[in-house]
Amino acid sequence: MSIESAITFSIAVFIFSITPGPGVFAIIARSMAFGARSAIPLSAGMALGDIAYLIMACFGLATIATRWEEVFLAIRFIGAAYLIYLGWKMWTSSSQSIDNEQKASTSREPMFKGMLQGFAISSSNPKVVLFYIAFLPTFLDVTALSAQDVAITSVLAYIALMLGLSLIAYSASQARRLMKTQRAQQRLNRGAGSIMIGAGAFLALKN
């Protein structure tokens, strides 16, 4: 992969990462409720899920996505139910309880828990691998890929994905800083909860 191709590939993945979808909506909702830092593990898990599909695409394993259709379907519904549950918690929580939960989340919640949540959201959509299958030949000779090519592509994609998702998380978290009163924060919590519930519903109902 040339430098020009690497830059173009990274930009394309960055744009792909900020395309609206259940994962992006989940990050927006979590960042609005708990701050940008709390969305980092979620973003990391989502990026890892995408990288798994990227590697599958590199090695021509798209058939796995169709053979494991039932597994992906189960993961999708579990992820959707969890997003709706989180959204309901945000909707019903007061601003003070949200702040307390944010402190507890920052200090005690295992990072891998958020990563697993993000990975589940990303891996619930096997159509991502089809995107990479159509996308990679533009930048790589997929008939002659080496392990080094796959490694470099994966690293570039992971960095671009994390930059895009982190930008979304930071931008969404700024909304909370503008809400100073308890009533305004409660409205923000309900808005974030609604987004999270909507993301869960979208994940469950999409084809």
Residue spans of the domains in the chain: they are 3-205
Q: Is the pLDDT of residue 45 over 90?
A: yes
pLDDT digits (tens, 9 = 90+) for 120-139: 888 776 667 667 776 776 67
pLDDT of amino acid 158: 95
pLDDT digits (tens, 9 = 90+) for 63-77: 555 566 666 667 667
Q: Is the pLDDT of residue 97 over 50?
A: no
- Residues with Cβ within 8 Å of residue 83, at least 6 apart in sequence: 22, 26, 121, 196, 197, 199, 200, 203
Label residue 159 by pLDDT band (50, 70, 90). very high
Tell me which DSSP letter residue 122 carries. H
**Rounded to whole angstroms, how far apart are CA atoms 150 and 154?**
6
Tell me which DSSP letter residue 139 carries. T
Q: Is the pLDDT of residue 156 over 90?
A: yes
**Rounded to whole angstroms, how far apart are CA atoms 173 and 98?**
14
pLDDT of amino acid 20: 73
